[in-house]
Every structure is written in C-alpha cells, then in structure tokens.
Amino acid sequence: MSRLDAAPPGPAEPVLWVDGREVDPRGPHLSALDRGFTLADGLFETMRVYDGVVFRLDRHLARLAHGARRLDLTLPTGLEAQLAAALSAAVARGRADASLRITVSRGVGAPGLAPPTGGAGAAGAAVTLVIAVHPLPRFAPSLYSSGLSAILASGRRNERAMTAGLKTLAYVDAIAALAEAQAAGADEALFLDTEGHLSEATASNLFAVLDGVLLTPPLSCAALPGITRAAVLELAEEHGIEHGEHVLNPGDLHAASEAFLTSSVREVVPLVRIGARPIGDGDRGPVTRSVIDAYAALVRGECARLAAR
C-alpha cells in the first residue's frame, strides 16, 4: 500500500490509486488494451470531499452499483475499503478538500466488443479500478456570484440510448458540445433530447424557475440522475419552495426568471445567459441564492455529522 515512487505528488497532482494501491501519478498505470480506453466500457462517479468527508458517498456508490448491474460489470471486491484507504492517504497529503473520482472499467480485453468471458479471476476478466483525488478548494465564490452563460448544443442527447441515465465513460459528445460553447464565447452547452426538450448541460443538471416554481427536466429527457439534483429537490421540499420535475422546452428558458446548474463538483451555479439573451434579469435570483445557501448548509451539516462518527 505504499507509493511506487518516494516523491509526494505536486500541489496540483492527484493522489492516485489503481487496482488497490497508490501509484506515482506520472504513470503509466493501465494497459492500452483496457476496455475503458478502447471502448469506453466502464462507469465513473465524481464526488466532493469536504474536510476529509465524501458528500453523499452512499448515493454515489448506489448509482455506481446500479450502472454496474445494467452493464453486467462486476465491481471490484473491497471497493469501499480501497476508497477509504485512498481517502485517508489523500487527507494525509493535504487533500481534505478535493474532488474524488472512481472509475471502473471492464479491464483488458481482446479485440472486438464482446467482453472477456469466464468467471471472476478468469484471465482478462479483471475489472480496473482507478481512484483519483484532486485538490479542490471549498466553494468558488466568484462562480457563484457571476454565473455562467450557455448555448444550446447543435447535437442532441439520446433519451432512448442503451445506456441512457448511466454515468458511463462515453463523454466525447459532451466534450464536443463544450468545445462548441467555448468557441461561441459561452461557458456551457445545454443539450436538447431527440424530441427537442431540454435535457441537461454537458456534465450538470439544469434547473429553471418558471412562475415561481423550481423545475428540472425529468430523467426521461436524458437527464442524468444527479446526486446534487436530488439534494436540491429535497432542499426545495424542506424549505417550502414549490418544485417538480417537468418537461421543459428551450422557450421556457426565455420565460424563466432564474436558472442554475448542479453537479457534485460545481454544486449550485447560476445560469444567467443563453447566448446573448439574459435569463431573468441576468443575475442570480432569490431562489438560486436560497438554494446555494441551503446546499452549503446541507453539506456542512452532513459532513460534520459524518466526521463526528
């Protein structure tokens, strides 16, 4: 369980665990025949670590387990113990505030799409597990106050894909949409599904306030079942903010008084412009501010409770 190399990781480098042991972040770590690399045959979760505590780890692991069942991917034994060990090492190396990504792939495979056959332990059938803990400061005040701009991506999300709703490694469409947004001078891209309904951003869920009601697209519009999305819906319920899942059209963003994006890493970030057109008055609004504050309090409360155990 010791590093391959004596040098500690640089300040921006991750603490990196591959298949159960800490490794030199410079690598190499993986086979070029790993199906995660050759075919995106795997899943991941990205979580936030606050003061050494992973926020809603149980929800992330449940989503990962669900995806693994759907893809018939056997999760590594001792995943939680490996995660705990990696987290301890990361905290010891000054990464108590961090992003933590777990990546699981189906491991090394022969050419073609068919997975390696044979039971656990069969040659070539071992999954690959990567845990990467990158330092990440708590909260990002400037992002929260100024907000983001977005365009509508030219390509569509597919709500009827084989892996719709699963957090697979296949993010190249999101990368292309983000590049399109940045080329247009925007921060983010929003996807429509194949029916023309709003889906989500490249790696965040979308919320909009319409007639005072906080709405987010249903999962049937190819929105990922975000852990932060679920937390925001819970908070709205608790705080008496009228809310719900609702099919949204692009025109609804013009009518919206506020909008924001949610993800584990970004938390809750105001979305204040679509193209050149402001959403509401182009500033973060009262509902967004309430949700940002409530989310910060939720994080503080849950993490303090877990840290005290």
73 or 256: whose CB is closer to its own copies?
73
Q: Which of 27, 185, 282, 286 binds its own copies (CB under 8 A)?
A: 27
Question: Which residue lies nearer to its own copies by CB, 152 or 210?
Answer: 152
Q: Helix 286-308 crosses helix 227-238 at what angle (to 10 degrees)?
A: 110
Interface pick for its own copies out of 114, 120, 276, 308 (rule CB under 8 A): 114
Residues 51-110 that bind its own copies (CB under 8 A): 70-72, 99, 101, 103, 105, 108, 110
Q: Per-residue string for binding with its own copies, 7-26, x by CB under 8 A?
A: -----x-x-x-x----x-xx
Residue ranges in 188-207 that form contacts with its own copies under rule CB under 8 A? 194, 202-203
Task: Provide, rounded to whole angstroms, the least separation between the CB of residue 120 and its own copies.
Answer: 18
The mark string for 231-260 relative to its own copies (x by CB under 8 A, - otherwise) is ------------------------------
Q: Is the dihedral of CA 13, 30, 61, 295 positive or negative?
A: positive
Residue 42's alpha-carbon distances to 132, 203, 228, in angstroms, are: 16, 17, 22
* Interacting residues with its own copies between 117 and 156 (CB under 8 A): 130, 132, 134, 136, 153-156
Cα angle 215-221-226, degrees, rounded to a multiple of 5? 65
| Neighbour-count burial of 149, counting CB atoms closer than 10 A to its CB (0-12 exposed, 13-18 middle, 19+ buried) | buried
Rounded Cα gap, residues 228 and 226, in angstroms: 5
Q: Distance between CA 258 and CA 281 in Å, rounded?
A: 8
211: Cβ contacts below 8 Å, ≥ 6 apart = none
Q: Which residue in the set 20, 31, 52, 146 belongs to the binding site for its own copies (CB under 8 A)?
A: 31
Does residue 175 interact with its own copies by CB under 8 A?
A: yes
Q: Contact, 225 vs 204, CB < 8 A?
A: no
Task: Considering only residues 256 through 295, tell me which ones interact with its own copies, judged by CB under 8 A.
Answer: 265
